[in-house]
Amino acid sequence: MDTESIVYGCIKHLPVGSLAQRRTSCRHNRAAILSLPTADGWPFLCREMFSVPGEDLMGGTYHTQVIHFGMSYRAVEYEWEHWISKFESLLRGMYWVNAVVHLETELAGHHTFIWDSADGCHEPSQEPLRVRCEWAREGSIA
- CB 73 within 8 Å of CB 3: no
| Interval 21-30: pLDDT, tens | 888 999 999 9
| Interval 43-73: pLDDT, tens | 789 999 999 987 665 566 778 899 999 999 9
Q: Residue 96 phi/psi, 5° resolution?
A: -165, 160
How many CB atoms are closer than 10 A to CB 27?
12
CA distances from 74 to 78, 88, 123, 135 (A): 9, 21, 33, 20
How is 72-116 classified by DSSP, letter by letter?
Answer: EEESGGGGHHHHHHHHHHHHHTS-BSEEEEEEEETTTEEEEEEEE
Q: Is the pTM of this model over 0.85?
A: yes
